[in-house]
Structure formats: structure tokens, C-alpha cells
Amino acid sequence: MELKDRVAVVTGGASGIGRALCRTFAQRGAAAVVVSDLDGPGAEAVADELTDRGAKALAVRTDVADSEDVAALVAAATDAFGPVDIFCANAGIIVAGGPEVSDQDWDRIWAVNVKSHIYAARAVLPSMLERGEGYLVHTASAAGLLTQLGSAPYSVTKHAAVALAEWLSITYGDRGIRVSCLCPQAVWTGMAGAPKGGDSDLPDALAATKGTATGDGIVRPEEVADLVIEAMADERFLILPHPQVATYEQRRAGDRERWLKGMRRSQAQISGFGG
């Protein structure tokens, strides 16, 4: 799908990858960009920036964990600009820990990282299927193909997000619905330590990072957004800003026992319990 003259909605659009997607969509000729975020003032700031640059944009405060909020978001976008052509379900959170994580935190991350994608599909699919075209972009993570050391909730929910994206592609691909699943490793966003609300010097940040999550380098959100545009033009399902992830996934599938042993070694190194 070409981006030009399309209406795009981006959740988590106030910062990080979401903000970069909004900016890039506007620069590449989208008919309109709807900036959605739980941070209403942040969404307004991004929408105002796009408008100042001559693009059509709208900010909508949205709690993606609330199905009614997501439905209202799509309704607001449609009322303002017409049918939604592209929906980027990008918002996500991380919670550290394992089974001991509270039920409240498990429920919240499940709602934000998985159910929000369900709500988005539920809200836009009827119109897209009626028109015979539409694009869903799901931001998951390399953790959805591999795992996330130190966070069972993130690993579990991102695997579920990938599975849902695959199911949607299989089920609706022959009816004009295209699906892409974004699975980066470390990106210079708030999750990686970037300051909220602003851009910062990536090389300085890299000097202070440690651990396997950043072992293959931290990429800028703008680089990720460019890759999403390329994947959409090719209608490619899997988007890997870190190409190494494809090799890791193949190793995982080819010899899971060996992969698990290697991940345990990485876990030990990070925890300081192994060499």
C-alpha cells in the first residue's frame, strides 16, 4: 500500500516510535494523521507540529486498554478525515518480573499490549473489509519472536501480539487486508532510557547501555519509521529493524534446547551470577 493520500491512525503517538511514525507519515504525503496517546497534551503537541508543517492532523487522547476509547478514536478519525486506511497499534508498556508480578500489573500489560490490538481490529475491520482494503501495523517486539530477559509479562504479551497479527494476516489477507508486525530490539525510546518528550543524542546513550537487549545496537525511532514505510510499500509482514533477529529466531526453532541454554547464560551474565 502506498501511503500518499491515506488516512493513518497511530496509537502511542506522543513519543518514541509512534511520534516518528506520525512525522514520517505526514512527510510522505498521508492525507491525514491522527495522533493518539494516553498523554493527551503530548498527542496535541505532535499534532500541532504536523499542522504547523502543513499536514492535516488530529490529536485524540485514548486509553488503548479501553475498547470504547478505541472505538471513539476510530469514530473521531472517520468524522474528521474519512475512513481509516492505516491503523498502527503501537502503544505498549513493559513490566519487570515474573509470576510474582501483581494481578493488576498482569492485567494492565495484557490490556495494553494485546487487547488494544484486538480493539483496533474490531473497530476498523468492518469498514476496511467493506472497501476491500486496509492496513494494520502491529508494534510487537523481538521479544515476541524470542523472549525478554527479566520480564515474563512483556515476553508473554508480545508473543500474543505477534500471534494475533499472524492470525489477522492469514484470515483477512485474501480480502484486501494487509498486516505488518514490527519486531525491533532496542530502540531509543522511553523504554530504553530516552528522556520523555524530546529527542536526545543517541551516541551518548549508547555509551551507557549494557545487556543483550542492546547488544545489537540501539536504533533511532526515525529509522524504524522509515522501515515501516518500506514494508508497507512491499506489503511485507515481518519488520525487523535489527536483521539479526531473523537468525536468532531460526536458531531458536532449529535447536530450542541449545537456544534455551544460551539464553540462560545471558540471563546469568546480566544478573551477575555467571561468567
Residues involved in catalysis: 154
3-class SS of residue 264: helix
CA separation, residue 137 to residues 58, 91, 121, 171 (Å): 19, 11, 10, 15
Of the candidates 184, 141, 135, the one whose C-alpha atom is nearest the C-alpha of residue 159 is 141
CA separation for the pair 50, 68 (Å, rounded) = 27
* Separation of alpha carbons 79 and 58, rounded Å: 11
Q: Are 34 and 76 a contacting pair, CB within 8 Å?
A: yes
What is the C-alpha separation between 12 and 74, in angstroms, rounded?
14
Q: Can you tell me which residue has the cell 524470542?
A: 146
3-state helix, strand, coil in the chain (%, to 5): 55, 15, 30
Cell 486509553 sits on residue: 63
Q: Check: CB of residue 239 under 8 Å from CB of residue 181.
A: yes
